[in-house]
Amino acid sequence: MRDPGTTVTPIKQTRTRKGAGLSAKLLVLTILFVMLAEVLIFVPSIANFRNTWLQDRLADAELAVAALDPVAFGYGFGAETGDAMMQQVLLETLEAHELVLVTRTGRQVLAQRAGIDGSLVANMAIDVDVTTSNPLRSIWEAFETLAGGDNVLRIHGGPEPATGRYVEVVVEEYYLRDAMLDFSRNIIMLSIVISLITAGLVYLSLNALFVKPLRRLDEAMATFADAPEDPDAMISPSNRRDELGNAEVRLAAMQSDVRTMLTERRRLADVGLAVSKINHDLRNLLSSAHLLSERLDMIADPHVQRVAPKIVRAIDRAVSFCEATLAYGQVREEAPERSTFTLANLVDEAAEFAGLTNHRTLAFSNDVDASLATRVGQENLFRILLNLMRNGRHALEAVGETETQLRLSVSAAFMGETLTITVADTGPGIPEAVREKLFQPFHGDAGRRGSTGLGLAIAKELAEADGGTITLVDPSETEESSGAVFTITLPDARVDDGT
């Protein structure tokens, strides 16, 4: 609880970070990843294109050789080699310098482009056997062609097993390089188109599945931060069954808890403010009552003399309680001043103040040994017992008439140096839903009519100030079938017999 008169501090706002959103990042990453995949596909593809181009050029050359020398391929008998005009046309079509038929007897140049020195071409040409390439070498040679492409290639295959002949075709490498560049441009353009289409589809899908729900969560948190006590600021979870749906449910639960906490804190602040306003006048009135009560000592009536000390003590305790209420909400109550007293007398006095003595429907039983003396904070223990007894009395009165008389009892015993006090009643007990927050302000006995819900919280703090504890005994561990049983433990409470 905050000090009286304070107000609830609003939740600190954080500055919104500006920059690329998730949608833009997803779009860029998708394009980059698709382009990377296309690059990985391009490397073997360009090597395969080069091999295919070489094989196709050799196949076309074999058809040309068959046209120029049908006898060599068994298509005729005694036919003459094609004329010079036909040779040049075929070479132009093939974009080749020479067509050569190689047999076991030697090499026969079937066609040669005009103005070409055959010996020079033979010396410059690089042999390319389309039957002996492997994948890694093909990739390396493909990029060599793209990087250079100024060589002369002599393309051929393996010899036929039966005849031992094969065809060679001599071409400029730049024809192959140009074809590979055209293929690369097509691959790049296709990759860009595929990347844009894929990125667009992925963007739209992820934006609908993730970005929009995340933006909704962000807006819900910002709205709640601006007005945490406004019920309309809370998020309404959707029907999603995935992780984002779980996040919405947990955010809604967190917002509900925060709203409850803020309400409790504000209520505590309001209570402290109200008490601080009335404390001054209340203490003045009690001081006047204390002065007037001292006059009762002058009255010789035995009944007055018996009651007067109790009235004085009651007024003194009322002043003390008023001051203690103002101090409530500090980290801890101050450690009480311990004194030695008889516990049974204190229990009787607390029962009288709680309205249990001579009650018309309830029975009170003080089971504390009359000779049991202890050394603890007397005023703190009195307030603890008074709170527990009042709570028990109200719980029993709420039951109404029953066949058996309702009863509240107090017992005590030492366990070593620790004093254990038990306050038990035969009422309806504590609901299970309330037990978890039983000793929190405005939760424990707040449901009882006319209660502020602070009694058990104050009792717990008073017990801890004296180094002790106060707990609710589990119903399964009690002999009674119903009712509430509280246990107070105070350490180092035994009176030293040697003093």
Which residue would you say has higher pLDDT here, 481 or 176? 176
Beta-carbon neighbour count of residue 32 at 10 Å? Answer: 12
The string of pLDDT tens digits covering residues 376-405 is 999 889 989 988 998 888 888 888 777 677
The string of pLDDT tens digits covering residues 403-426 is 677 899 999 999 999 999 999 998
**Backbone phi, then psi, for 168, in 5-degree steps?**
-115, 140
Amino acid (1-letter code) at residue 173:
E
Contacts of 93 (CB under 8 A, 6+ apart): 60, 64
Tell me the three-class secondary structure of 344-399, residue by residue.
HHHHHHHHHHCCCCCCCCEEEEECCCCCCEEEEEHHHHHHHHHHHHHHHHHHHHHH
Q: Which element (helix H / strand E) includes 58?
A: helix 22-68
The string of pLDDT tens digits covering residues 313-335 is 777 777 666 666 555 544 445 67
pTM over the 0.75 mark:
no
- Cα separation, 366 vs 412, in Å, equals 10
The string of pLDDT tens digits covering residues 90-121 is 888 888 888 888 888 888 888 887 766 666 56
What does DSSP say about strands 96-103 and 106-112: parallel, antiparallel, or unpaired? antiparallel
The pLDDT confidence band at residue 7, using thresholds 50, 70 and 90, is: very low
Whether pLDDT at 176 is above 50: yes
pLDDT at 230: 76
Tell me the average pLDDT across 5-25.
53
Amino acid (1-letter code) at residue 45:
S
Contacts of 232 (CB under 8 A, 6+ apart): none
Whether pLDDT at 351 is above 80: yes
- Cα separation, 286 vs 296, in Å, equals 16
- Cα separation, 199 vs 209, in Å, equals 15
Listed in order, strand segments (DSSP E) in 64-201 are 96-103, 106-112, 126-129, 152-156, 166-172
Tell me the average pLDDT across 2-21.
48
Task: Return the residue matching tokens 């492409």.
Answer: 149
- Cα separation, 40 vs 230, in Å, equals 55
Which residue would you say has higher pLDDT here, 4 or 105? 105
Which residue would you say has higher pLDDT here, 251 or 374? 374
pLDDT at 92: 83
Query: What fold is seen in the domain 334-490?
Result: Heat Shock Protein 90 (3.30.565)
The pLDDT confidence band at residue 9, using thresholds 50, 70 and 90, is: very low
pLDDT at 34: 77
Q: What is the DSSP string of 153-166?
A: EEEE-PPPTTT--E
| Domain span(s) for CATH 3.30.565.10 in the chain | 334-490
Tell me the average pLDDT across 40-61.
89
The pLDDT confidence band at residue 448, using thresholds 50, 70 and 90, is: very low
Tell me if 14 sits within 8 A of 178, measured CB to CB.
Answer: no
The pLDDT confidence band at residue 252, using thresholds 50, 70 and 90, is: confident
Longest CA–CA separation in the chain, Å: 164
**Backbone phi, then psi, for 235, in 5-degree steps?**
-75, 145
Alpha helices in 69-133 (DSSP H): 84-94, 118-124
| Structure-block tokens of residue 59 | 């196949």
Tell me if 402 sits within 8 A of 475, measured CB to CB.
Answer: no
Whether pLDDT at 11 is above 50: no
- Cα separation, 374 vs 167, in Å, equals 120
The pLDDT confidence band at residue 71, using thresholds 50, 70 and 90, is: low
